[in-house]
Amino acid sequence: MLFHTLTFAIFFASVFFLYINLSHRLQNRMLLIASYIFYGAWEWRYLFLLFISTVTDYFCGLGIEKNKEKSQKKKFVYLSVFINLTLLGIFKYYDFFAENFKDLMGHFGFETHPYFLNIALPVGISFYTFQSISYTVDVYRGKIKACKNFLDFSLYVSFFPQLIAGPIERGSRLLPQILNSRLISKENIINGLYCIFWGLFLKVVIADNMADLVNPIYNIDNPINGILILLATYSFAIQIYCDFSGYSLIAIGLAQLMGINLMENFRRPYFSLNISDFWRRWHISLSSWFRDYMFAPLYIYFQNSSFFKNKSIQSRHLIFFLLVLFATEFLLGLWHGAGWNFVFFGIYHAFLIGCYYLSKKYWDNLNKYLQIFLTFNLVSIGWLIFRSDTLYQSLIFFRSIFTDWSLSNELILVYLKQFIVLSILLFAHEIVEEIKNNRYAILNASKYIQYCIYTFMIIIMMVYGQFGEKKFIYFQF
């Protein structure tokens, strides 16, 4: 059930109608049923995975709170992490590791026949398992109290607007909003509708039309032209941003209509001044998850060890930072998908962040617009790796970009025109938001300007929008 389909519109209208006519307790129960229907509509056979995660973390949360001894509490955290990651490992990574094991053994002359599951990836598994894990860790850290009501906790794990592709929420933010009664203000309605409207525009107009530029180039093994690859790569940079931030905005908007505030997931990442800044603006809920539950604990573990005790503060910090950075980005890459190109994507970003901090003094003195331009290009190289089917394909594409610059291909002009028009549609809006530093900047414009903008957007959506034709990219993660 895709957000940009009539089926979903009918589904949400029904949910919303019931929602505004029910008491708080019944709202929660109805939302839970709706969330399971929403997920079941994708693949009902995987509902049990969602249920296992929920049951595990509900009881682990209670176990942590009940026990006074830290060592006992820790056991429940380990249990939660183990069960969640095992499910993720089996359903997302098993075939990948089995394939690589087979190849590795074959390399040494051993023929192996591992069993392959050959199953479709359970949609949203990477998102809800991470959200669920963060809950038990936060209960352990004492940041939140364990949720006593199983049905309310189930809603926390399965809340349908953000179940499939985030934002990955935290217990400290979402649970209180579930447990306490909610007020739907006029501001909620206006902001929510605005988010849904802009999110839809990003998805059906910009992302899906950009996809038409990207897919024909990336789906062939022998690239035709370096300039076309470059254009397709820049197009993909815009596509993935509009696709994913579009989804997040719709999710935020839907939740707001029900009086629930979800966290911001994107903050105009293509205006980042450096690569570190990029990760503070891109998929914020995931990067902050890795920072809080992996990067910082691992760093503190090294810090508390006796490694490099004789080094100065700065040197010790730099060594640990780089070590932990590479480990985190490796896993962050792998989180995106079971493929070496995703792993390399993560390592590439770790390398860029490392280089940035090593050359910070020089980089920060560059012209601001040059910093933005360079960062966008470095990020786009990462997208080339990310979008390629294999590492080998990305290497071939890189070679073509640097060697084949023939301008004779008539497709270039067609591609360029579409790329420029779609980019203008995106950045005209983004620039206003960036200058005002406000996601709702357009809502502060005069009514007349707003009507003109909305009318223009509706016409563009009706003419060029691709409703319900293409899935969201991040569903595959």
Partner 1 sequence: MKKEQIITQLKELIEEQTEKRINNNDEDINIDSFTMMLVITFADQKLNIKLDMDTLDFDKFKSLNDLANLILTNKKKVILK
The catalytic residue positions are 336
Are the CB atoms for 130 and 170 separated by under 8 Å?
A: no
Rounded to the nearest whole angstrom, what is the least distance from the CB of residue 140 to partner 1 in the complex? 8
Rounded to the nearest whole angstrom, what is the least distance from the CB of residue 316 to partner 1 in the complex? 6
For residue 30, give the nearest of 306, 258, 299, 322 by alpha carbon.
Answer: 258
Handedness of CA 254, 41, 266, 419 (dihedral sign): negative
For residue 225, give the nearest of 430, 449, 415, 470 by alpha carbon.
Answer: 415
Rounded to the nearest whole angstrom, what is the least distance from the CB of residue 245 to partner 1 in the complex? 20
Of residues 244 and 290, the one with the C-beta less far from partner 1: 290
Distance CA 282, CA 265 (A): 7
Of residues 53 and 177, the one with the C-beta less far from partner 1: 177
Residues whose CB falls within 8 Å of the CB of residue 212, separated by 6 or more in sequence, listed in order? 418
Of residues 113 and 309, the one with the C-beta less far from partner 1: 309
Rounded to the nearest whole angstrom, what is the least distance from the CB of residue 310 to partner 1 in the complex? 11
What single letter denotes the amino acid at residue 144?
I
Of residues 296 and 331, the one with the C-beta less far from partner 1: 296
Taking each helix axis from N to C end, the angle separating 340-358 and 313-336, rounded to the nearest 10 degrees, works out to 150
Q: Would you give the DSSP letter of residue 366?
A: S
DSSP letters, 250-273, are HHHHHHHHTT-PPPP--S-GGG-S
Rounded to the nearest whole angstrom, what is the least distance from the CB of residue 375 to partner 1 in the complex? 15
How many residues appear in the chain?
Answer: 477
Rounded to the nearest whole angstrom, what is the least distance from the CB of residue 304 to partner 1 in the complex? 6
* Residue 150: CB atoms within 10 Å: 13
Of residues 87 and 324, the one with the C-beta less far from partner 1: 324
Residues whose CB falls within 8 Å of the CB of residue 95, separated by 6 or more in sequence, listed in order? 116, 117, 118, 338
Residue indicated by tokens 């006074």: 68
Of residues 182 and 316, the one with the C-beta less far from partner 1: 316
Handedness of CA 10, 3, 210, 419 (dihedral sign): positive
Positions that interact with partner 1 (CB under 8 A): 140-143, 276, 280, 288, 291-292, 295-297, 299-300, 303-304, 313-314, 316-317, 320-321, 324, 357, 361, 364
Distance CA 298, CA 361 (A): 27
Rounded to the nearest whole angstrom, what is the least distance from the CB of residue 76 to partner 1 in the complex? 15
What single letter denotes the amino acid at residue 157?
V
Are the CB atoms for 191 and 256 separated by under 8 Å?
A: yes
C-alpha Rg value of the chain to the nearest Å: 23
Phi, psi values for residue 161, rounded to 5°: -60, -35
Distance CA 237, CA 382 (A): 9
Of residues 15 and 379, the one with the C-beta less far from partner 1: 379
Of residues 2 and 273, the one with the C-beta less far from partner 1: 273
CA atoms within 13 A on the CB side of 85: 11
Rounded to the nearest whole angstrom, what is the least distance from the CB of residue 115 to partner 1 in the complex? 39
